[in-house]
């Protein structure tokens, strides 16, 4: 089979499109022929060596995708050859064939395309748990979403509105602010502005109920934007490490700092089924819009990495085998 591999850490140029051996599935696995593969910043971090990678080179990136079952292991009973499936957390997805453990399989409804599934699963399920488990959004809550034009950001905006919240988005450019507004944000401010002052202006000086913080280096400013008794949900650090937070500040202002990681939520087959079903229903009912992704051939994966790393892209980037 063909796969996108790399032997050493570095820039996009280390990626190679080569013929390698197909995976041999275990009794509890399915062999899936990939139709669409999601590209995420975690892939860039792993390519650079910022994230730990198990095993030895050649390495294969990718954790999210969708395809068709080509073979099932001896202990697999819930799925059959020909089933359309997807996954959000299975390694080595940057290949024509992937071995998928049966407990990590998400069965695709007939009206959800491979491209939609690969575009929305990781980021959509992240936004779903952030607005339900990390901080349960209630009607009339005021929500601040960092990187509101990104994949998780646009999903947070849409789900926040769906749950009855008022959403403020932050973006790095006017072009991206248009994407956040199109997703439904009530207000969108630029990082280059005095965004904390503007947030206080539109919240009558109170601040927001919850901040979804994915930048990291803005953590202290996020607390400034939060009202007394409010919450900051820290789930990423695309802009660098956060400043230390003084617990006395949390005590004095009755504010809460909480973290979130999707892998602490997607722990069973049933969790995946329940959460993805809700996400897919929102999409088919038109309550959440999935924008058209930018697609690259898997062989052109280096170009896709270059675009994502430039931060010029808006929306999801997919690799197509």
Lowest mean pLDDT among 37-46, 94-103, 200-209: 37-46
What is the band of 310 on the pLDDT scale with cuts at 50, 70, 90? confident
Query: CA 168, 171, 173, 175 torsion: positive or negative?
Result: negative
Residues 234/237/242/246 CA torsion (nearest 10 deg): 10
DSSP string, 202-216: HTTTS-EEEEEE-SS
**pLDDT tens for each residue of 55-71:** 888 999 999 999 999 99
Q: What is the CATH number of domain 139-259?
A: 3.40.50.720
Task: List every span in the chain annotated with CATH 3.40.50.720.
Answer: 139-259
**pLDDT tens for each residue of 109-135:** 999 999 999 999 999 999 999 999 999
> Which residues, in sequence order, are bridge partners of residue 29?
101
Quote the pLDDT of residue 47: 95
Task: List every span in the chain annotated with CATH 3.90.180.10.
Answer: 2-120+266-320
Quote the pLDDT of residue 90: 95
**pLDDT tens for each residue of 255-291:** 999 998 898 999 999 999 999 999 999 999 999 999 8
C-alpha to C-alpha distance for 53 and 60, rounded to whole angstroms: 10
Q: Is the pLDDT of residue 314 over 90?
A: no
Q: Is the pLDDT of residue 21 over 90?
A: yes
Work out the percent of the chain whose per-residue pLDDT is above 70: 100
Architecture of domain 2-120+266-320: Alpha-Beta Complex (3.90)
Q: Is the pLDDT of residue 312 over 80?
A: no
| Helix (H) or strand (E) run with residue 44 in it | helix 41-48
Q: Is the pLDDT of residue 104 over 90?
A: yes
Q: Is the pLDDT of residue 313 over 80?
A: no
**260, 129 Cβ separation under 8 angstroms:** yes
What is the band of 251 on the pLDDT scale with cuts at 50, 70, 90? very high
**85, 100 Cβ separation under 8 angstroms:** yes
**pLDDT tens for each residue of 136-195:** 999 999 999 999 998 899 999 999 999 999 999 999 999 999 999 999 999 999 999 999
Is the pTM here over 0.85, yes or no? Answer: yes
| CA-to-CA dists, residue 87 to 6, 99, 149, angstroms | 23, 11, 24
Quote the pLDDT of residue 295: 97
């Amino acid at each position: 089979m063909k796969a996108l591999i790399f032997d050493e850490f570095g820039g996009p140029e280390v990626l190679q499109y080569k013929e390698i051996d197909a995976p041999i599935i275990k009794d509890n696995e399915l062999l899936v022929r990939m139709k669409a593969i999601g590209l995420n910043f975690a892939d860039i971090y792993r390519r650079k060596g910022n994230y730990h990678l198990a095993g030895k080179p050649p390495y294969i990136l990718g954790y999210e995708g969708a395809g068709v079952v080509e073979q099932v292991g001896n202990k697999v009973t819930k799925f059959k050859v020909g089933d359309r499936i997807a996954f959000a957390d299975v390694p080595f997805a940057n290949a024509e064939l992937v071995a998928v453990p049966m407990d990590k399989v998400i069965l695709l409804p007939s009206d959800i395309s491979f491209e939609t599934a690969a575009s929305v699963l990781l980021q959509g399920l992240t936004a779903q748990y952030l607005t339900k488990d990390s901080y349960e959004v209630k009607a009339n809550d005021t929500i601040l979403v960092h990187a509101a034009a990104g994949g998780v950001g646009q999903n947070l905006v849409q789900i926040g509105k769906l749950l009855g919240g008022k959403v403020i988005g932050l973006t790095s450019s006017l072009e991206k602010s248009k994407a956040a507004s199109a997703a439904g944000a009530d207000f969108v401010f630029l990082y280059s502005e005095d965004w904390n002052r503007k947030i206080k202006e539109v919240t009558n000086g109170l601040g927001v109920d919850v901040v979804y913080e994915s930048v990291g280096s803005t953590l202290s400013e996020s607390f400034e934007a939060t009202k007394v008794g409010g919450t900051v949900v820290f789930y990423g650090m695309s802009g660098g490490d956060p400043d230390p937070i003084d617990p006395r500040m949390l005590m004095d202002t009755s504010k809460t700092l909480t973290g979130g990681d999707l892998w602490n939520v997607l722990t069973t087959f049933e969790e995946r089924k329940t959460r993805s079903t809700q996400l897919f229903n929102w999409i088919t009912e038109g309550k959440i819009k999935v924008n058209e992704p930018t697609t690259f051939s898997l062989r052109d994966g280096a170009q896709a990495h270059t675009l994502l790393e430039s931060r010029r892209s808006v929306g999801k980037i997919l690799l197509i085998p």
